[in-house]
Structure 1
Amino acid sequence: MTRPHALLAALLGCALMTNAAIAGGYSGPGTATRVTTVAAALSAADDTPAVLQGHILRHHGNERYAFSDASGEILAEIDDDEWPARTIDAQTRVRLIGEVERGLFKRTLDVDRVEIID
């Protein structure tokens, strides 16, 4: 393997390991702490894994939604293909799985999966 290919393979392997940590797997020393509340997400580092439970309150356009739990409110970016088959409204309790995105002035939640909590 040439050097550029080896570097690409190493980077791809790191990306796959990060996704495995979010979806389950190992959670001991050396893994990122997962945030579970909006309040924690609003002060978390960029790319911190997040699993939040609460309600999607409003649509702000362009795949952006206001999400709320008992600790506060955060803007969630949810791609159209991440929604479950059922319709969700402001009274539907949901679990958002993704990571914190730290912008210049605020933090948002980049959502990888939306689950309805029955």
Structure 2
Amino acid sequence: MKRSYLALLVLPLFASAAFANGGYSGPSAKMPVNTAAEASAARDDEKVVLEGRIVKQLRSDLYEFKDATGSITVEIDDDLWPMAAISERNQVRLVGEVDREVFDRQIDVDHIELIN
């Protein structure tokens, strides 16, 4: 009798450990935000993949990003910049997430890629 109770207590621990290293890795039902206009209205921590141009530097790691729908502030850490120089004429792809502040939203960039 004690063994069956012990088995019932230990079994969930083994079951949860089996799922800790795996899980679903396919596509998500929720697509990432793809435009500056959508990003300006998106929730905090929402994933974004933006394509457009970085048109100017606002402060040390803050830049203005612009696409066909509008513009939004993006934060790009120094170590994320690719080896090639990027100017306002270059098309880039930014991958990151929305960082919603009290009065504004900006994109915290995780990866930057030169497209052209």
TM-score (structure 2 length as normaliser)? 0.76
Number of residue pairs matched?
94
Identify unmatched segments of 5+ residues in structure 1.
Answer: 1-12, 18-24
> Could you tell me which residue of structure 2 aligns to residue 27 of structure 1?
27
> Could you tell me which residue of structure 1 aligns to residue 59 of structure 2?
61
What is the CA distance between 1:27 and its match in structure 2?
Answer: 2.0
Larger Cα-atom Rg: 2
1:93 pairs with 88, 91, 94, which one?
A: 91
> Could you tell me which residue of structure 2 aligns to residue 108 of structure 1?
106
TM-score (structure 1 length as normaliser)? 0.75
Question: How far does the alpha carbon of each residue in 1:9-62 deviate from its partner, in whole angstroms, 9 at most, with x for none?
Answer: xxxx7xxx9xxxxxxx52234xx4310000000000000000000000001112
Tell me, yes or no, if the aligned pair for 1:33 and 1:48 is still in contact at 8 Å.
Answer: no
Root mean square deviation, CA, Å:
1.6
> Could you tell me which residue of structure 2 aligns to residue 43 of structure 1?
41
